[in-house]
Structure 1
Amino acid sequence: MSFPCTRCGLCCQKIKGIAELEEFHSGDGKCKHYSQHKGCLIYQKRPLVCRIDEGYEKLFSQLVGLKEYYQKNAEVCNSLQQEQDYPPRYRVNLDNGH
């Protein structure tokens, strides 16, 4: 199983205040490697904190269970989407994998 990212891009547009992503900040809250039309321009080389599953294994697996980790990430995703009035089809639903 992997985290069911809906690729809305909001996590890339709201990085201000995330210490691990400070060097990627473009000054307007967005990652300098994010394109509205293409998504992450460094996807294969993106930071570990941007890799939900690999980040869990290497950073968080000793601190929290996978289910709780996915739930917290889903809550953040869905909260960002609601704040930006994204359509419900983008919501992360852990019950059916999307």
Structure 2
Amino acid sequence: MFICTKCGICCKNIDKVPELIDFDLGNGTCKYLTKENTCAIYLSRPDICSVEKMYEKEYKNFYSKDEYEKMNLEGCKILQKNYKVK
């Protein structure tokens, strides 16, 4: 299972995700990101926002679940490093 650190960086860069254009406040931040860096629509969030759903829907034929989760974790680490999040 993918563990989110709840830093909010991915939700502050949705302008790079075409599927989320309708969720963008206009500055790249998701309109459903709360002040606590949680998702206000977590239970009904788009599939693109769920590592588990995207694995099953798009990537299970290309990667093992472990590989896919590791790639997502690496992406998180890169974003956190670029935005100086500890």
Q: TM-score normalized by structure 1?
A: 0.79
Count of paired positions? 86
Structure 2: how far apart are the matches of 1:30 and 1:61?
29
Q: Map 1:1-98 to 2 at 5 A.
A: 2-37=1-36, 39-87=38-86
Q: Unpaired runs of 5+ in structure 1? A: 88-98
Structure 2: how far apart are the matches of 1:63 and 1:55?
12
Number of the residue aligned with 1:90: none
Q: Unpaired runs of 5+ in structure 2? A: none
Matched to 1:6, the amino acid is T
Matched to 1:75, the amino acid is E
Structure 2: how far apart are the matches of 1:85 and 1:63?
31
Q: TM-score normalized by structure 2?
A: 0.89
Runs of 4+ more than 6 Å apart: none
Would the aligned equivalents of 2:14 and 2:28 in 1 still touch at CA under 8 Å?
A: yes
**Which of 58-67 and 25-34 deviates more?**
58-67
Q: CA deviation at 1:47?
A: 0.4
Identity %: 36
Structure 2: how far apart are the matches of 1:38 and 1:12?
8
Q: CA deviation at 1:61?
A: 0.8
Q: Tell me how large the CA RMSD over aligned residues is.
A: 1.3
Structure 1: how far apart are the matches of 2:62 and 2:71?
13
Summarize the Cα distance change of 1:29–1:63 in structure 2 as closer, same or farther, 3 Å threshold. Answer: same
Higher relative contact order (CA 8 A, sep 6+): 1
Number of the residue aligned with 1:91: none
